[in-house]
Structure 1
Amino acid sequence: MKSDRATTSLNLPTLLSFNELAWVAVSAMALFCGYLLSETSDHSTSKLQQQLAAGHRGLAAQRASSQELSNRLAQATSELAEAARRQAQAERRIAELVSQMTQAQTEMLSLTSRLSHVEEEASKLKNRLAEAQSKLASATDLNARLQAQLQQVTDRLEVQKKELAEARRELWEAANELAAVRARLAERPSEGNVRKELLGLRGAMSNVVILLDRSSSMADGRRWGDSLRVIEAWLEYLPIESCALITFSSQREAFPPGGHFLAVGGTNEIARTARKDLIRQVRARPPDGNTATVEALQLAYSYPGVDTIILFTDGEPLDLRRATDPKRGLMAARESELSAAERKRIAKAQIAEALALARKHPDIPINVVALADYFTDWKSEFLLGLARNTGGAFLGR
């Protein structure tokens, strides 16, 4: 025990010294380290300062580079914005171009359709042109033939002109001769009266009304043409001073119109022209319809100063517009639809009416020129009765 305590007591100062030594050592170490650090720090500081200076220079260079990069970035940003604007414009332009392209495609389709239609029309026109060219060729050939024929006609016309000139000369000579004959006849007016007496006509012949039947039956044979030729000759060679000509069928028509006479007497040019015009107007109206004799007589008696009537007819009066039937009332049937009994009944009724009308004017002779078959009992009774009751003449042709 005592030995342990002695050891302890002996080692305690040694331990403290060791601790002190350790502290010293540590202090020395610390000093050395401090020295080393000091040396190192000075060296490092210098180096660091150099490095710091180099860093400042690098930082300055970096700042300059950063500024340049900032400038470039700003420029790039501006260029990017400009590029974006241009891209937007380009996109709008592209959209416009796409729209225009779509419209152009639509128009192209329309033009294609129209082109197809135009081509079809062109094809038709080509066909028509070919047809027209064919017709033109035919027309050219026809024109050549017509030209040849025209030349022939021209040649014949020249010959005919010469013949016409000769005929005119002969006609002029004949006209002069005829004028001389008419002048001689005018100097002997009694010859007209002689002709009238030879024909057996009655009346003063100053104001004459000629009644000409223009019913459809007058177209048979030569009745119509012969009647016109007789009237034309009588107007020229009988002593008729003034004349009115009334044609009658289903209706009546007067020449000249207006209820007055036309001066036709004499051999002057005015009288000859009047006679020709009168016949020409009547000739232009061919026969047609029924026989309205009663209405024609009524119109003849209405002319003021009429002194002679000449009636050309081929039969009895038969005006269906005036015909009545006790059972059926007014008859509007066509003549072909009448029975023989109905026709005879209507004719006899109108004959009686015409004879009664003539008896009211006994001082105006009716000269009857009967045409064709007028020998039946009731036809001859009618026609002879008109002449007998008025002091006129009856002439059968």
Structure 2
Amino acid sequence: MHNSFSNESDENSIGWVATTDLFVLSTILIVGLSFGLVRYTSFLSDQLRECKKNSPCPPPIECPPPVVCPPCNEEEVDLLKEEIKKLKLELAKIKKTLSEKETKISQLNFEKQKLQMQLNERDKTISELKKEITELKDDIAELGNTANSIVALRGKLQNVVFLFDSSESMKDSGRFDKSKELLSQWIKNLRMDRFAIIDFDNNISPFRTELVECDEDNRLLAASFIKDNIEADGQTQTQTAIENTFEYYPEVDTIVIFTDGRATDNNGRELTKTEADKIRAWLLEKHPNVVINTVGIGDYIHKTAGDNNSGETMEFGFFLQMLAKKHNGVFIGIADEEK
């Protein structure tokens, strides 16, 4: 009996030992797994912290509050639809107006092009007209030179003074009207820069007291002055006319004297040859560069000038010829027509 109890005790001891060993092993396994899990968790935490450190995460996105639609009002909806319809109509009108404006702008651009073409044509025409005017001026200048050559006057003909004898004797043989017509033609056609006219008899009547430009207007005014203002009367005060010429027109460079009578002094007395020589000497001394052209009208060859007291006589034509010769001018004789 003792042996049996002993054997049973041994078996129980062996079973308890085995159970104890299994418990110990399980405990060790659980502890090992727990330690490994803790280590792994710590590793993951370290990795997460490293990740946040290197690449911080963006803040969380906050969602907007939900839109709460008000309860629909059918009347307001209809009003909005009507307003939209009106706006669409206005938009259509604006588009139509814009299209019309664009069409108008296109038409205006076309008209602008047409006007520009017309302006170009006009400029071309103006340029051609200017060219023609220049050519005409050249022709007129050439005609003026021709006229000067035909008349054969000498001098610069820049500042010209015409002295016209309107004494009583100019009425003889129709010479007065012929002389006025000749003077008018010269005024109209001679090429000059400036000119003046002095009508002389007992009195001195200048066309102007200063030289005027030789343009078309002044030529016409001078022609009217010759026609309407010069009348034949009185004596031939040539000396006074010459003196007044230099008083009124100090810049004169050419003088043309029209006369048919014998020269007289300021008192109307006929000049003697000695007195006429003194006038020529005075002119040569005071105005040596002024060219004097003389035009003898009528019976200038046979007339003589003299002083009853001195007995000196002077052929009238000789006085005019010498006056022109001494002043580098030309003498032109116009005889009366034979009856």
TM-score by length of structure 1 reads 0.44
SS of the equivalent of 1:311 reads: strand
Residue 358 of structure 1, aligned match among 245, 264, 283: 283
> Which letter does structure 2 place at the counterpart of 1:395?
I
C-alpha distance after superposition, 1:286-330 (max 9, x if no partner): 11101110011111123131110000001321247154xxxxxxx
Give the aligned partner of residue 187 of structure 1. 138
Give the aligned partner of residue 389 of structure 1. 326
> Would you say the 8 A contact 1:355–1:382 is kept in 2?
no
> Which letter does structure 1 place at the counterpart of 2:156?
A
Kindly indicate whether residue 269 of structure 2 is the aligned counterpart of residue 348 of structure 1. no
SS of the equivalent of 2:241 reads: helix
Residue 310 of structure 1, aligned match among 247, 250, 256: 256
> Which letter does structure 2 place at the counterpart of 1:348?
K
Deviation at 1:182, TM superposition (A): 9.0
> Would you say the 8 A contact 1:307–1:365 is kept in 2?
yes
Kindly indicate whether residue 233 of structure 2 is the aligned counterpart of residue 282 of structure 1. no
**Greater RCO between the two (CA within 8 Å, min separation 6)?**
2
Matches within 5 A, 1:183-262: 185-188=136-139, 189-256=141-208, 258=209, 260-262=210-212
Residue 301 of structure 2, aligned match among 365, 375, 382: 375
Cα gap change, 1:322/1:230 in structure 2, threshold over 3 Å: closer, same or farther?
closer
Please give the alpha-carbon distance, in whole angstroms, between the structure 2 residues aligned to 1:214 and 1:353: 24
> Which letter does structure 2 place at the counterpart of 1:194?
T
Give the aligned partner of residue 236 of structure 2. 291
Deviation at 1:354, TM superposition (A): 2.9
Deviation at 1:378, TM superposition (A): 1.5
Cα gap change, 1:281/1:198 in structure 2, threshold over 3 Å: closer, same or farther?
closer
Q: What is the RMSD of the two structures over their aligned residues, measured on CA atoms?
A: 2.4
Please give the alpha-carbon distance, in whole angstroms, between the structure 1 residues aligned to 2:274 and 2:170: 22
Please give the alpha-carbon distance, in whole angstroms, between the structure 2 residues aligned to 1:351 and 1:369: 17
Give the structure with the larger helix fraction: 1
Cα gap change, 1:314/1:185 in structure 2, threshold over 3 Å: closer, same or farther?
farther
> Which letter does structure 2 place at the counterpart of 1:356?
A
> Which letter does structure 2 place at the counterpart of 1:316?
R
SS of the equivalent of 2:156 reads: coil
> Would you say the 8 A contact 1:203–1:307 is kept in 2?
yes
> Which letter does structure 1 place at the counterpart of 2:290?
I
Deviation at 1:375, TM superposition (A): 1.1
Cα gap change, 1:384/1:185 in structure 2, threshold over 3 Å: closer, same or farther?
farther
TM-score by length of structure 2 reads 0.51
C-alpha distance after superposition, 1:229-260 (max 9, x if no partner): 1122112221112111001101111111x3x1
Please give the alpha-carbon distance, in whole angstroms, between the structure 1 residues aligned to 2:187 and 2:134: 17
Please give the alpha-carbon distance, in whole angstroms, between the structure 1 residues aligned to 2:188 and 2:136: 11
Give the aligned partner of residue 88 of structure 1. none
Matches within 5 A, 1:131-170: none
Residue 263 of structure 1, aligned match among 201, 213, 233: 213
Please give the alpha-carbon distance, in whole angstroms, between the structure 1 residues aligned to 2:256 and 2:268: 23
Give the aligned partner of residue 120 of structure 2. none
Deviation at 1:218, TM superposition (A): 0.8
> Would you say the 8 A contact 2:235–2:268 is kept in 1?
no
SS of the equivalent of 1:315 reads: coil
SS of the equivalent of 1:356 reads: helix
Please give the alpha-carbon distance, in whole angstroms, between the structure 2 residues aligned to 1:349 and 1:282: 33
> Would you say the 8 A contact 2:256–2:292 is kept in 1?
yes
SS of the equivalent of 2:160 reads: strand
Cα gap change, 1:225/1:357 in structure 2, threshold over 3 Å: closer, same or farther?
farther
Matches within 5 A, 1:23-62: none
Cα gap change, 1:182/1:301 in structure 2, threshold over 3 Å: closer, same or farther?
farther
- The runs of 5 or more residues in structure 2 that have no matched partner are 1-131, 303-313, 335-339
> Would you say the 8 A contact 2:236–2:268 is kept in 1?
no
> Would you say the 8 A contact 2:201–2:236 is kept in 1?
yes
- The runs of 5 or more residues in structure 1 that have no matched partner are 1-180, 265-270, 324-342
Please give the alpha-carbon distance, in whole angstroms, between the structure 1 residues aligned to 2:174 and 2:134: 33
Rg larger in 1 or in 2? 1
SS of the equivalent of 1:240 reads: coil
> Would you say the 8 A contact 1:202–1:391 is kept in 2?
yes
